[in-house]
Chain A
Amino acid sequence: MSIVERTVGVRRISVRGRLPERPGFLGALMVSPAVLYLLGLVGFPLVLSFVYAFSDVTTGNPNVHLVGLSTFAAAVRDPVFAVALRNSFIFTFFSQALVIVLSTILAFGLSADFPGKWVVRFLILLPWTTPVALGAVAWLWMLDSIFSPFDWVLSAVGLIHHGAHIPFLGQARLAMGSIVVLQAWRMLPLATVILMAGLTSIPQDIQDAAAVDGAGFWGRLIHVTLPLLQPIMLVALLFGIVFTFTDIAVIFVLTGGGPDNSTQVLASWAFYKGINGGNLAQGAATALFMFPVLLGLAVLLLRIASRVEVT
């Protein structure tokens, strides 16, 4: 200790000896609630799903008896499983295709300045702020087999006979179309916001340089904007695919998986089989078929996004 330190009574404090002073401790502490949340509410249920899928648990008997792959075999043999698996891909593909196209158009539109822009932004964001069950119930009423306002409007403009009813949810293809449209309506705001963020991050210099080089609107769009937007678009697509492929709320409220299981998806079938039907193990096995699909998609899209090189 130096004379000065002794004079003023300064004591050396070893940094390593006090936990709160250690580098990284506070950061870890701040992140720990999120980690605990993920482990408790995401990680643990995922592990439990794997355990259940290899067992014969029911809602009435949670004791785990491992039975190998027989539960998976039973899940695959179920005739509704193939329909649910196919529908999960159809539902995801068509709803996300709609979302990407519409959100790109909206993002371009909202990037420009015009009167009332904030109102339009608010209206576009509204579906995202509405709880999914509430939004789905509103659509359920609008697509009702007897009281649909769409029937009334179409009848008023002469496109259908007076008093006729379109079975929006009663025919398989119309029901799937209704679900696709509702999902696209829900996911559009998120994708639009992500793409708007991407658009604003494109340097104006590049656009100006392209314009100086003679590129028109479509030329700049195809050769400059869309390539630069591609990584952001892939992120929006990844979010949309994950949310849609695992969605149950829309199907549960709108069709219950009907008519005749024609709109059943893996998530909803897992619920009906596992919880309502009591066959928890088979429900878990059905749900786990989503895992490799989503994992593979996420890895693929993130790799593409990271490797995109604009020249």
Chain B
Amino acid sequence: MSDVDTEAEKLTRRVETAWTGRLSRREFVQKAGLAAVGLGAGPYLLAACGGGAPSGGGGGGAKSQLTILQWSHFVPRYDTWFDAYVKQWGEANNVNVKVDHINQADLPARTAAEINAGSGHDLIEWIAPPSALEPSVLDLTDVVQEAEKKYGSQLPVCKSSTYNPTTKKYFGFCHSWSPDPGDYRKSLWTKVGMPNGPLTYDDLLNAGTAIKQQTGVRVGIGMSQEQDSNMAARALLWSYGASVQDANENVVLDSDATREAVNFMVKLFKQSMTNEIFSWTAASNNQGLVAGQLSYILNSISAYRTAQQTRPDIADDIFFRPALQGPTGKGFASEHVILIYLIPKWSKNVDKAKQFLLDLVGHTSDIVYQSELYNFPAFSKTNAQQKLFGSGGWLDKDPFGSHPANKLDLLKNAASWSVNVGYPGPSNAAIGEIFDTFVLPNMMASAARGTKTVDQAVSDAAAQCRQIFAKWRQRKLVGGSS
């Protein structure tokens, strides 16, 4: 006997189905399977008939593809400019370019996912040194050398944020960076006899205390698990002659200079701040300054630009100071953000990616202007140097409405007091882990809150740092021996 249905059986089944609406199991499975295949393959079949890919822009043809992942800039007009620039660049270079903007906090997780998957974007822009990713990204020494030939030497703060002296590789390409000046309220500081703001940390302590006593307005230096607190802790340590590592990547945090710096922070907290600073997010110091509740913060000009939009009266009262000096007579501050592109090893269009980076630096004046002077040039001879730093340039006459117009002119020499997060050594993977697990702000916080003595806070933090350095040394990404 054959298993093939007879015509009679087929007819019987069709009649039964039409009459009762019931399907047999076999028919249900067949129809469901066909529907699933149709739904899944339909778009691709239609696209094939239309001659294009089912997703992504433009037609196929001979154009290559380039995909870029980067943060959503604090200044929205920058992203608007960048997307338009990328499109023009793509048309000029016969490349289909696609840009994805995500929240900067999502960059580490997204990049880790792409690395583990072995596929993703051709270019990824970070705003902190991606030193831990070195094994999975290309060495960009050739791009940096080519850029230096065209646009002058790269600034030390940018070089030390992207170069690993242990492996002698550039794991990223820095095209711009942001300084981290002090922002102070002139009217409040004038009341205590310092109209030009603080020059030293002692000025900050004494005058900040007086302002709080007279007006209730606090100093705004965070000690919480967020980026600005990381920057503030480092700036204080450096200005006191302390640091996490020395120039040869040995851990040197456990020092008298560190203890002095932490003692200072405890005093500053007790005299001029409140508990709020232990729970801050990255936006809190901005919000506090714009709300008129803080007399001094350490931040890029983003807080000021926000105030210009929402509280022009406060904005007119905000002025800037360079890195505060410590007992050493020197003052250092970290870069606030450092914009670094990396090219993962899986990138299918490496040549175009490298060309994009070189061409981007050629538009540094646009990068600077469209970021409302948030981004600064990474190279010494770009087309932005004269426009930004020159006499009568943007820092002398802010095109974005500062009162007075030369409010930002002290940023002209920002590169002289700005260093990388691993200063005096490089921004290596161990420094990255210490940064991202907030070891230094927590060291300051535990001493200020009284949960540990200063000695205990410093030695615990140093022990953590040594453990972290040891692990990364085993992976041969960090130098030094202790």
Contacts and interface: CB of A to CB of B under 8 A. Distances in A.
A230 interface: no
A62 B437 contact: no
B277 A276 contact: no
B3 interface: yes
Contact of B280 (A56, A58, A145): A145
A17 interface: yes
A62 B5 contact: no
Given A26-B29, A278-B433, A170 B132 contact: no
Contacts of A275: 108-109, 112
- Interface range for A: 35 or more
A95 B6 CA distance: 67
A8 to B, nearest CB: 7
A19 to B, nearest CB: 9
A112 interface: no
A146 B293 contact: yes
Given A56-B475, A62-B116, A278-B132, A165 B276 contact: yes
Question: Chain B: interface residue count, which band?
Answer: 35 or more
**Main SS class of interface, B:** helix
A32 interface: no
A77 B442 CA distance: 18
Contact of A258 (B6, B25, B116, B278): B278
A277 B109 CA distance: 10
Nearest to B433: A277
A260 B451 contact: yes
Contacts of B130: 60
B474 interface: yes
B3 A17 contact: yes
B254 interface: no
Contacts of A273: 433, 437
| Among B438, B460, B464: residue with most chain A CB under 10 A | B438
B280 to A, nearest CB: 7
A256 B281 contact: yes
Given A59-B116, A62-B116, A260-B442, 17 more contacts: A11-B1, A20-B25, A58-B429, A59-B108, A60-B115, A60-B136, A61-B135, A63-B135, A79-B463, A146-B276, A167-B279, A255-B225, A256-B226, A258-B438, A258-B445, A276-B437, A278-B132
26 contacts: A1-B1, A8-B8, A10-B9, A11-B2, A11-B4, A11-B5, A18-B3, A26-B29, A29-B29, A56-B474, A58-B475, A59-B108, A59-B116, A60-B130, A60-B132, A61-B136, A62-B136, A171-B275, A257-B225, A259-B224, A259-B449, A260-B223, A275-B108, A275-B109, A277-B132, A277-B432
